[in-house]
Structure 1
Amino acid sequence: MTRKIIIDTDPGQDDAVAILLALGSPELDLLAVTAVAGNVPLPLTAVNARKVCELANRRDIAVHAGCDAPLSQPLVTAEHVHGKTGLDGTDLPDPTMPLAEEHGVDAIIRLVREGAPGEITICALGPLTNVATALTRAPDIAARIGGIVLMGGAYFEVGNITPTAEFNIYVDPEAAEIVFSSGIPITVLPLDLTHKALIDRTRLDAIRALGTPVAEAACGWLDFYERFDVKKYGGDGGPLHDPCVIAYLLKPDLFTGREINVEIETEGRFTRGMTVADWWGVTDRKANATFIGGLDADGFFSLLTERIGRL
Structure 2
Amino acid sequence: MKKVIMDVDTGIDDALAIMYGLESDALEFLGITTVDGNVPLDMVNRNTLKVLSMLGREDVPVFSGAAGPLMKPSRHVHHIHGEDGLGGALIDYPYENMCEAQFAPDFIVEAARHHPGEVTLIAVGPLTNVALAFKQEPLLGELLKEVVIMGGIVSRAGQGNSGPNSEFNIFTDAEAARIVIHGGANVTLVGLDVTKQAVLTARDIETLKGSKYYDFIKQSTEIYRTFSMDKFGLDGCALHDPLAVGFALNRGFLRTEHHYVDVDTVSPLNYGQTVCDFGGLWGEEPNVNVSLEVDSARFVEDFLNVMKNASGKI
With normalisation by structure 2, the TM-score equals 0.94
* Structure 2 equivalent of residue 168 of structure 1: 169
Matched, 1:296 2:295: yes
Kindly indicate whether the alpha-carbon contact (under 8 Å) linking 1:199 and 1:226 is maintained by their aligned counterparts in 2: no
CA distance in structure 1 between the aligned counterparts of 2:45 and 2:287, rounded to whole angstroms: 31
- 1:80-114 per-residue CA deviation (whole Å, 9 max, x = no partner) reads 21111111141341421111111111111111111
1:1-311 map, 5 Å: 2-92=1-91, 93-115=93-115, 117-155=116-154, 156-157=156-157, 158-207=159-208, 209-212=209-212, 214-311=213-310
Q: Secondary structure at the match of 1:242?
A: helix
Kindly indicate whether the alpha-carbon contact (under 8 Å) linking 1:89 and 1:223 is maintained by their aligned counterparts in 2: no
CA distance in structure 1 between the aligned counterparts of 2:228 and 2:7, rounded to whole angstroms: 24
Moved more, 92-101 or 81-90: 92-101
For structure 1, list consecutive stretches of 5 or more residues without a partner in the other structure: none
Identity among equivalent positions (%) equals 32
**Structure 1 residues 286, 95: CA separation in 2 closer, same or farther (over 3 Å shift)?**
same
CA distance in structure 1 between the aligned counterparts of 2:221 and 2:285, rounded to whole angstroms: 39
Kindly indicate whether the alpha-carbon contact (under 8 Å) linking 1:5 and 1:31 is maintained by their aligned counterparts in 2: yes
- 1:258-300 per-residue CA deviation (whole Å, 9 max, x = no partner) reads 1111110001011111111223444422211111121111211
- 1:128-180 per-residue CA deviation (whole Å, 9 max, x = no partner) reads 00000011012232211000001000021542012221100011001000000
Deviation, 1:210, is 4.2
Deviation, 1:309, is 2.6
Kindly indicate whether the alpha-carbon contact (under 8 Å) linking 1:38 and 1:76 is maintained by their aligned counterparts in 2: yes
Deviation, 1:205, is 1.3
**Structure 1 residues 238, 282: CA separation in 2 closer, same or farther (over 3 Å shift)?**
farther
User: How many residues of Structure 1 are paired with residues of Structure 2 in the alignment?
Assistant: 307
Q: Secondary structure at the match of 1:196?
A: coil
Q: Secondary structure at the match of 2:221?
A: helix
Opposite residue 191 of structure 1, the aligned amino acid is L
- 1:160-213 per-residue CA deviation (whole Å, 9 max, x = no partner) reads 012221100011001000000011000111101001111212212123x2432x
Deviation, 1:219, is 2.1
With normalisation by structure 1, the TM-score equals 0.95
Kindly indicate whether the alpha-carbon contact (under 8 Å) linking 2:211 and 2:307 is maintained by their aligned counterparts in 1: no
Opposite residue 110 of structure 1, the aligned amino acid is E
- 1:31-74 per-residue CA deviation (whole Å, 9 max, x = no partner) reads 10000000001000011111111111001000111000111111
Opposite residue 18 of structure 1, the aligned amino acid is A
Kindly indicate whether the alpha-carbon contact (under 8 Å) linking 2:117 and 2:144 is maintained by their aligned counterparts in 1: yes
Kindly indicate whether the alpha-carbon contact (under 8 Å) linking 2:205 and 2:214 is maintained by their aligned counterparts in 1: no
Q: Secondary structure at the match of 1:231?
A: helix
**Structure 1 residues 171, 94: CA separation in 2 closer, same or farther (over 3 Å shift)?**
farther
CA distance in structure 1 between the aligned counterparts of 2:282 and 2:230, rounded to whole angstroms: 37
Kindly indicate whether the alpha-carbon contact (under 8 Å) linking 2:205 and 2:217 is maintained by their aligned counterparts in 1: no
**Structure 1 residues 138, 283: CA separation in 2 closer, same or farther (over 3 Å shift)?**
closer
CA distance in structure 1 between the aligned counterparts of 2:17 and 2:278, rounded to whole angstroms: 27
CA distance in structure 2 between the aligned counterparts of 1:280 and 1:154, rounded to whole angstroms: 17
CA distance in structure 2 between the aligned counterparts of 1:192 and 1:205, rounded to whole angstroms: 27
